[in-house]
A and B are shown apart, each in its own frame.
Chain A
Amino acid sequence: MAEVKTVATTGNLVVAEAMRQCKPDVVAAYPITPQTTIVEEYAKFVAQGRVHTEYVTVESEHSAMSACIGASAAGARVMTATASQGLALMWEELHIASGMRLPIVMANANRALSAPINIHCDHGDAMGARDTGWVILFAETAQEAYDNTIICLKVAEDPEVLLPAMTCLDGFITTHSIDRIELFDDETVADFVGEYEPANALLDTDSPVSHGCFAGLGGPFFEFKKAQRLAIDRSKGVVERVGAAFSELSGRPFGLVESDMMDDADLAIVVIGSTAGNARHVAKEMRAQGVKAGVVKVRCFRPFPQAELVAALKDAKAVAVLDRAESFGAEGGPLYLETRSALYDLETRMPVVNYIYGLGGSDVRLELIRQVYSDLSDIVSGSASPSGLVYLGAR
């Protein structure tokens, strides 16, 4: 029976705790705000002898992911953590990790990308990695960051998947705020994730293999990419299955998309991460005033839960997509683009509008969310027409 301990601590510390409980063989990481307390906490576990992990204190994030790739190809269970500039520096390696089908799990403490330099939350870092072939989950709370980390590992290592997975949590908001969190005992987590059985391990010297071969012109590059596409498509069912199994243990819900008050909602907000809480709070206020407001949170961004999102939104009269990231020069933010595309197949398409918000930690006040619902109301009543992208709360 799972034992549960309730603690008051931060998102980063429970991500480190989840990592410890997953028993990675190798952690190779480089510090960057606001991820630092994850790698510091893990360094304590190493110093205390509480883990068998070989902790590689690399000289850069590029080397962090490079070492993770080497270790994973060697046959080890591998985890790491980064943020922002660190994730950007890894970009080349993110593709290689997924292309080599290595189930590395990485926490990303979402932080804005320079310039100007800024250390606070937005999703520009992770969204810049959205097409790198990683499974990507976003947490709303520290509890979800803990849960998602464990779920990510089991998904990544599933023989049907064998892809790297990223577990994202909002910089400072979730990484550093103290929250109430339920932790499992070590055995429960160990049983849940199980032992990793690597395929084609480099260290199996009796059957040597070559990893990272050349597949140039006329070679099977195209077919490798197709296989990768099929794997991330398959991962959707695996995320659902693993999430459901975890949910059964924890008693907490898990969905690729998590809806609130959407059964009869006219006005819907689609959002990722910690802002979902603000949105829910305001939706409840609106409900008290007789406005049928609802919230759809996207917890799994890759693979993108298209069907689930459509099912959640299909009866809404107007939809606002909140993006904490830019896609400069595109019609709107990344979540907006994908959501609009998902809704294209509906027989009757509702207006869908886009708000860019909270970049570089810019404050997400409740009145801003109220403004969004009020805009949606105006659109539905016909007193305003759907307009282009809005920088929510920008001076």
Chain B
Amino acid sequence: MATLKELTHREDRLAGGHRLCAGCGASIAMRQIMLGAGTDPLVVGCATGCLEVSTTIYPYTSWRIGYVHNAFENSAATVSGVEAAFKALKRAGKIPADKKIKFMAVGGDGGTYDIGLQSLSGAMERGHDMVYVCYDNGAYMNTGIQRSSATPKGAWATTSEVGAAQAGKQQKRKDLTSIIAAHNVAYAAQGSISHWKDLATKAEKAFAAEGPAFINVLATCPRGWRSAYNKSIEIAKLGVQTGYWPLFEVENGEWKMSTSSKGLVKAGRKPIEDFLKPQGRFKHLFAPENSDLLAEIQADVDDYWEYIKHRCGVE
């Protein structure tokens, strides 16, 4: 693992001046991961979404590396093609045999959990040497905060409204990281923008792994979460500390809980309310009539926590 000093001397591959909101977790996730990726040349493919529209407004680009955007549901398939081209052009002698390039595909939770799941599954199964990064802000933010299968239960979103008949999203979040781990990829992990060292280390491992790797990053969206612009890191940290977002990795089939989460097993997790309270999208949950729902959400978090503990062999 590179030291903080080393990391700070690495080139920032995503330039400032992009149009993401202040406090947006997506760019923080990208910068931490690309710092951890190392110094080999990197080519990235990005799905349609906030990150994409805000970083490549023609004639400008924030990407200091090769970048391709194709569509919403296919960043994994697109990068499959880029990586295939690299192999073939080496074979043809058009690219020197010792040339190294790393490949990264990126998507939001909508582009990954939902519409892009097939494309991602295909790419992971075929074994392309790429790291797929999902920045999970728990909704389709770019189109106006519609629910996705990553949206937490109870959250308000513009297609899971709050009213007399319904208190926000009715369903639990899909556990995508486990689904990808079940592809038996070389490396799969869950990280958070609040734990930069953990995330950068996971990125380093993911890029070092041969074959497909996957990182799911909790990435605050102040606009959609209805949270303060200067609280993004703090809220993401609460996501980890409440156990809503356990940090773990699956390396060659071996599940391992990351230190910051493992510490909570003894020290105790914060109640889920601590994560929900600073976010306006959960405001309705604190009305007296929704106390059962709140208890249900806590129970869901507990279940998932126990499941991850079990997978990681943590007592």
Q: Which residues of A contact B (CB under 8 A)?
A: 25-26, 28, 52-54, 56-60, 62-63, 66-76, 78, 92-93, 96, 202-205, 208-216, 219-220
A26 touching B74 by the CB < 8 A rule?
Answer: no
Q: A203 CA to B87 CA in the complex, in Å?
A: 11
Q: Does B256 contact A (CB under 8 A)?
A: no
Q: A48 CA to B140 CA in the complex, in Å?
A: 46
Among listed B59-67, B202-210, B270-278, B299-307, interface-contacting one = B59-67
Chain A contacts for B85, CB-based, 8 A: 25-26, 54, 70-72, 74-76, 78, 203
A219 touching B58 by the CB < 8 A rule?
Answer: yes
Cross-chain contact of A67 among B41, B66, B78 (Cβ < 8 A)? B78
Q: A102 CA to B201 CA in the complex, in Å?
A: 37
Residues A59 and B122 in contact in the complex (CB < 8 Å), given A203-B86, A203-B89, A208-B66: yes
CB within 8 Å of A: which B44-101 residues? 45, 52-53, 56-59, 61, 63-71, 73-74, 77-82, 84-89, 91-92, 95, 101
Chain B contacts for A73, CB-based, 8 A: 68, 81-82
B71 touching A213 by the CB < 8 A rule?
Answer: no
Q: A119 CA to B92 CA in the complex, in Å?
A: 37
Chain B contacts for A208, CB-based, 8 A: 63-67
> How distant is A85 from chain B, measured CB to nearest CB, in Å?
16
B88 touching A70 by the CB < 8 A rule?
Answer: no
Chain B contacts for A62, CB-based, 8 A: 73-74, 77, 119
Q: A96 CA to B70 CA in the complex, in Å?
A: 7
Cross-chain contact of B58 among A26, A74, A220 (Cβ < 8 A)? A220
B57 touching A26 by the CB < 8 A rule?
Answer: no
Chain A contacts for B64, CB-based, 8 A: 208
> How distant is A127 from chain B, measured CB to nearest CB, in Å?
23
B53 touching A202 by the CB < 8 A rule?
Answer: no
B84 touching A212 by the CB < 8 A rule?
Answer: no
Cross-chain contact of A203 among B45, B61, B80, B82 (Cβ < 8 A)? B82
B71 touching A66 by the CB < 8 A rule?
Answer: yes
Contact with A along B151-165 (1 / 0, CB 8 A): 000000000000000
CB within 8 Å of A: which B204-249 residues? none
Interface residues on B, range: 35 or more
Q: Does B121 contact A (CB under 8 A)?
A: yes
Q: Which residues of B contact A (CB under 8 A)?
A: 41, 43, 45, 52-53, 56-59, 61, 63-71, 73-74, 77-82, 84-89, 91-92, 95, 101, 118-119, 121-122, 125-126
Cross-chain contact of A211 among B67, B73, B122 (Cβ < 8 A)? B67
A66 touching B70 by the CB < 8 A rule?
Answer: yes
Q: A392 CA to B58 CA in the complex, in Å?
A: 51
A211 touching B77 by the CB < 8 A rule?
Answer: no
Chain B residue at minimum C-beta to C-beta distance from A68: B81
Q: A374 CA to B23 CA in the complex, in Å?
A: 75
A205 touching B74 by the CB < 8 A rule?
Answer: no
CB<8 Å pairs between A and B, sample of 28:
A52-B92, A54-B88, A56-B81, A57-B126, A58-B122, A59-B118, A59-B119, A60-B118, A60-B119, A63-B77, A63-B80, A66-B80, A67-B81, A70-B70, A72-B85, A73-B81, A75-B89, A78-B85, A92-B71, A202-B66, A202-B68, A203-B66, A203-B86, A210-B56, A212-B56, A213-B61, A214-B52, A214-B69
A70 touching B66 by the CB < 8 A rule?
Answer: no
The 8 closest A-B pairs by CB, nearest first: A70-B81, A59-B122, A67-B81, A212-B69, A74-B85, A71-B81, A76-B85, A63-B77
Chain B contacts for A93, CB-based, 8 A: 70-71, 74
B78 touching A25 by the CB < 8 A rule?
Answer: no
Q: A118 CA to B74 CA in the complex, in Å?
A: 28
> How distant is B44 from chain A, measured CB to nearest CB, in Å?
9
Q: A78 CA to B89 CA in the complex, in Å?
A: 11
5 new A-B contacts at CB < 8 Å, known A69-B78, A213-B58: A58-B80, A70-B78, A205-B101, A210-B63, A214-B69
Residues A59 and B125 in contact in the complex (CB < 8 Å), given A52-B88, A205-B43, A214-B57: yes
